[in-house]
């Protein structure tokens, strides 16, 4: 079983890169299951139904979200669709689901979305405790457990990996838009990477126009962020899971410029 996780889609460039590159990646790497983080697809903040359908149209199995889940009101019309999940540690009163279970090649794959709390402005429940609770509920009913941890702090992500080592099959980080080089299989068999990176404008500051970002840092004055234009980049990660043991056996970063 090969599972592909694609880093945060940023703006129209990110959506275009996904549509252009994903089919070839799936074919070349013999991918079975695709997870895409789509919370920045709509001009850098949120997701619309049109873009959601475009992301699904090229072979995506599930779309994960993050701190911009509710940025576009359109989200409420499709958040209960069975191919999208939002952070599980949002308030229980929020619409949508924090995890779902999918069937693929006679395997049951649970995908859990979590949001971090360190330096994040979103009020949320404890992601560590929420993850434990979910895993305890589903562990006897699924073969593979995958977690998208949408968090800012590297320490929080790494700590979660050790906390769930041997319980989750795959844990990957999103949100920082910068791909890290620490992909590894932990001692107890969990595949982990701190951040899988971004799919969006290449010449940018994490997807935003560089000049606008520089002005904010240079002057300390408010400057509206805007999505950068130009050629794109696609960041992703391929995880291979043994079909007999259901344990992660390899992890490989992808960076297409």
Write out the catalytic residue numbers: 68
Closest CA to 45 of 62, 66, 60: 66
Contact 190, 145 (CB under 8 A): no
């Amino acid at each position: 079983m090969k599972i592909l996780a694609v880093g945060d889609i940023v703006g129209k460039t990110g959506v275009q890169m996904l549509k252009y590159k994903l089919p070839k990646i799936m074919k070349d790497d013999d991918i079975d299951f695709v997870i895409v983080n789509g919370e920045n697809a709509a001009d850098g903040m949120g997701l619309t139904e049109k873009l959601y359908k475009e992301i699904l149209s090229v072979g995506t199995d599930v779309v994960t979200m993050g701190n911009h889940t509710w940025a576009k009101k359109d989200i409420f019309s499709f958040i209960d669709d069975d191919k999208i999940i939002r952070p599980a540690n949002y308030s229980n009163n929020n619409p949508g689901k924090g995890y779902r279970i999918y069937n693929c090649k006679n395997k049951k794959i649970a995908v859990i979305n979590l949001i971090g709390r360190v330096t994040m402005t979103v009020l949320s429940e404890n992601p560590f405790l929420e993850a434990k609770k979910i895993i305890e509920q589903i562990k006897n009913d699924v073969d593979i457990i995958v977690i998208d941890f949408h968090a800012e702090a590297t320490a929080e992500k790494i700590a979660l990996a050790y906390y769930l080592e041997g319980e989750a099959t795959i844990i990957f980080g999103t949100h920082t838009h910068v791909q890290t080089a620490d992909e590894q299989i932990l001692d107890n068999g969990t595949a982990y990477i701190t951040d899988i990176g971004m799919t969006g404008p290449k010449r940018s500051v994490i997807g935003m126009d560089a000049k606008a970002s520089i002005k904010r840092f240079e002057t300390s004055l408010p400057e509206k962020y805007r999505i950068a234009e130009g050629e794109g980049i696609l960041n992703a990660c391929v995880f291979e899971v043994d079909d007999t043991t259901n344990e992660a056996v390899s992890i490989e970063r992808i960076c297409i410029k």
